[in-house]
Structure formats: structure tokens, C-alpha cells
Structure 1
Amino acid sequence: MPNWFCRLSVITLLTTCSAFSADKPPIIKLCIEDEDSYPWLLKNRPGLSIIMMQMVEKRLEVKMDIQPLPWKRCMEVVKHGIFDGLFKISFKADRMELGNFPMIGDKPDISKRMFDDSYSLYRLKGTNVDWDGKVIRNAEAGIGAQAGFSIVDQLKAMGITVDDGTRIADDNLRKLLVGRVAAVALQTQEGDASIAANADMRGKIERLSPPLAEKPYFLMLSKPFVTKYSEFSKLVWDAVAEVRESPEYKKQVQQFK
């Protein structure tokens, strides 16, 4: 396992007084998915989500133990309070059964998001699959999508047959290459990166506009954690927002390749 996934050490004096005064745990145990999701999560080096959480850790002076797990298992262990939280996750009402999002009333507080990302539809060049921002046409063979991701339900609600047998973007794109599906729906930055990295895909697959969906992504905290550390949980989400807008993090985003 890459050593940067392990417990992240903290030595800093730059912490708000409120973070010192709130009851807080000695460690926060978080899980992430164990597959690449460029540029947010990567197996061979820290992605932008890990870089963000390192900065959050420093602000709060609390250690974070971040472990990669299969995505569905990650959600399950948070649901049962085995882990204190997970990232990165988009909001769906039924996901509130898994854990807590930062909320304003019955809506997620997007000011506390980690980042925004989108889903796009990819087709083979020369095919007639179409997306006009409202309706997907000529996709009778179905659309491939990543297992456990929120776009699956959106596509099904549109009456589309969905093949969500794999989480891995490259595998979904290869289904497209061999004609198993008419198109694939992927997170845009990850889909673009996968195509750019594979010579057998470059020049053969194209992304359609506009995006299928644009969504904020959050750090979810488990229900037991929020119950026990309610005030500190707010400070955690506040720190995420502060880091996201900080010059230090924005520089990391600009320089990330």
C-alpha cells in the first residue's frame, strides 16, 4: 500500500481557537475508493483530494488515517460506523442513510464542498449517439457507467439501459471500443485522462457536450461521529471550505498534472 495512504502526521501551530476548544477525537478514520479517479485520487501519488485533506489535517491539528477500499465497501463501513467518514461523494437523498453531509435545511451546503466535477458521455467517432442536454438518442445498445456512481440512477431515470458492471474507467471505455455498449458515461476529467493515456483509444473516442451532469463533491462523516463530535464536525467541514479557497491549495490545483 502506498505509504501516503497511511496516517498523516501533523505539526502546525496555525489552528483556529475554536478548533482547540471543541471536543475532538485523537484520530479521524476515513476511507476512499481504491481505484484511480483523476485528478482527485491516484494510486501512485497523492491526488488533489488527498492534498486537500492533508491541509485540513494541519488546520485542525488532528490525525487522519485514510484507507483505500472498494467503493461499495467504503460506503458500507461508514454506514455502520466502522470508519468515521469517506470522500469524495456527491449528494443523493438516499445517501443520507450512509452518513452526514454538511447541510443547510434539507439541502447540501455547497459552500462546504470539496470540489465540483462533471459527468460526460463518450462515443466512438463516426457513430450517431447524441446528447442535446435533455435527451440521449441512438443508444439502444446501452450505456456503460461506473458501478456505484450517482450517474447510474440518472441514466436509468431517463429510460436508458445501463451496464455498470465495473468501476474502472478504462474497462468501461474498452466496452465501448468492442461494441458492447453504445456510449459510456464517465466523470469528465477521469474519462479525458484515460483516453489520453491509452493509444488504442486516442483518435477513436470522443466526448459529447454539454456534460450529462455537474455536481459538488463532499466529505461525508458517519452518523456516530457527528453525534459524538457535533461541533467539531462543523469545524471539519469549515476547514474543507477554507482549504478549497486558500491560495496554497489553488496553487496545487493549477500545478497538478
Structure 2
Amino acid sequence: MPRLALFLLLSTFSLLVHAQDRKLQFCYEDHSVYPWVTGVKQGLVFYLLNKTEAELRLNFDLISLPWKRCLNEVKAGRIHAAIGASYIQDRAKWGTYPTDANGSINKELRLFYANFFVYRRNDSAVRWHNQRFENLRQQSVGVQLGYSVGKDLEELGYPITYLPASEDLVAVFKTKALEVIVLENSEADRVIAANPGLENLMVKEDDPVKGGEQYLLFNTVYYNANSALAHSIWETLAKVRRSKAYQEERAKYISSK
């Protein structure tokens, strides 16, 4: 074995052995993000994390927090990584995403993919077309707190009302205080299924507002000191996600929705 390859192998092994002696703290959103987060340490993302933790013989401390606070804790370096973060430039200033040899985001090392759609009242004239709202006037758009899709819409000039959970958005939507809300597609399906009559009230616009990969986002200071360990975690998560066992587990959630 070439000396460089042997050195890298031993370095990675040393980091993994050292990591077994301490907890790696990861935070996740404290509300449903179906099917990835369905409760306290429940959902598909925890299947991925638990299998990765076992394979690498690590110790993950998984902390439930409001999403915006989770990101702020990682930014401040008090928590090592955020679970399920999309890529935006502001986050890349303090956090590190998995990249390939060219320095581009490595989408193959994602946790999952999420699509966000506009949902409007059935009597609303508002439409989402060509990445713009039509007939919105000065109405506010409901978005979950800390979600990057809200920032994207703000940059387009639209007023946003932020609420913590999908259920909160739907509750205000029912009162007519919000005519339009943005939800992740699978989470919206879950909420609609759990609320009889809601499917007759909510109309999903055809075009997504945003779609993208969601990653395990490490604090950059931590990553710089533990890059081999971080890459081992990203790569193992991806390997588990591609496995037949994971696909079978995913099918259980999709079929039970």
C-alpha cells in the first residue's frame, strides 16, 4: 500500500476511534417533516443516522430544537451539525456541506430530497406561475420558521408570515388569516390526511416553489478539525440511503401515509 494511502487510512481510523469516546451532537427540527422526522428520534432520517452510528461505532447525541434555533446553535459552534439543511449561501458562511473533488456540492451525499409547493384556498385568485405569484396583492405568505424557502420568497419581494410548524400554518389558513401557505410536499400530504375536509379547502399549485437536497450540515470550525470523520459520516449515510434495507423502510412510510 502506498505510504500516503496508508497514512490517510490510519488517520481516519484514529479519528473514528477518538470519536467513540465522545458524543457528536446533531440537532433536528422539533416538528414533523414527514417522512424524515415523524416524532422524537422517529422517522427515516433516524434510520439513516442509527445505521451510520452503528457502522462507524460512533456516539450521536440527537437534539430536538426549533429549526431556526438548531441552525443558530450549529452556527455558534455549540452543536456539531444540523440534520436536514438545504444549501444556501448564508449557511455556507459558517457551515460546511459535503463537496466533491472540484469543490461543488456533492448531491450524492444528501440525506434526502424535499419539494416545496404553494397551497392556496380553493376560493383564492392567487396563483404560482413561472416562479412568481399572481394576484397576491399585499397578502402575506405563510412559511415555517427558519425554512430557506421563506428567505427565497422574501428576496422576490413577497411578505412572509413565519410560524413554527405545518400544523400552525394550516390552523391559521383555516381561519382565512392566510390565503396562501408553502409546505413541503410529503409533509403537506400528511397534514391533509390527518385533517378531514382539508383536501377540499386546500389547492396545490402545479409548479414547485423550490426543490433541493437536504444535508447533514457541519459547523465549519468543527469540520476543519475533523474533516475525515465528517466525510466518513456523509459517505456512510449515503451508503445506507442507497441500501435495499433503507428502500424497504422508506416504502413503509410512503404506503402508510
Secondary structure of the corresponding residue to residue 53 of structure 1: helix
- Stretch of structure 1 that moved more, 98-107 or 172-181: 98-107
Deviations 1:84-104 (A, max 9, x none): 112011000110133211123
2:38 to 20, 42, 57: 42
Equivalent position of 1:58 in the other structure: 54
* CA–CA distance in structure 2, aligned partners of residues 179 and 239 of structure 1: 45
- The alignment status of 1:31 with 2:27, answered yes or no, reads yes
Equivalent position of 1:21 in the other structure: 13
Deviation at 1:223, TM superposition (A): 2.2
Secondary structure of the corresponding residue to residue 41 of structure 1: coil
**Structure 2, unaligned runs of 5 or more:** 1-8
Give the paired residue count: 240
**Structure 1, unaligned runs of 5 or more:** 1-16
Deviation at 1:19, TM superposition (A): 9.5
Query: Whose helix fraction is larger, Structure 1's or Structure 2's?
Result: 2
* CA–CA distance in structure 2, aligned partners of residues 73 and 157 of structure 1: 22
* TM-score for both structures, normalised by structure 1: 0.87
* TM-score for both structures, normalised by structure 2: 0.87
Deviation at 1:45, TM superposition (A): 6.3
19 and 33 in structure 1: CA distance in 2 versus 1, 3 angstrom threshold: farther
Deviations 1:129-182 (A, max 9, x none): 111233211122221111110111111222222111x12111112222222222
209 and 110 in structure 1: CA distance in 2 versus 1, 3 angstrom threshold: same
Deviation at 1:79, TM superposition (A): 1.6
1:111 to 108, 113, 117: 108
Equivalent position of 1:10 in the other structure: none
Sequence identity (%): 23
Q: How does 1:92-103 map to 2 (within 5 A)?
A: 92-103=88-99
* CA–CA distance in structure 2, aligned partners of residues 210 and 177 of structure 1: 23
* CA–CA distance in structure 2, aligned partners of residues 220 and 189 of structure 1: 22
233 and 18 in structure 1: CA distance in 2 versus 1, 3 angstrom threshold: farther
Native 8 Å contact 2:12 2:229 kept in 1: no
Equivalent position of 2:157 in the other structure: 159
Native 8 Å contact 1:31 1:68 kept in 2: yes
* CA–CA distance in structure 2, aligned partners of residues 45 and 31 of structure 1: 10
Equivalent position of 2:71 in the other structure: 75
* CA–CA distance in structure 2, aligned partners of residues 18 and 138 of structure 1: 61
- The alignment status of 1:145 with 2:137, answered yes or no, reads no
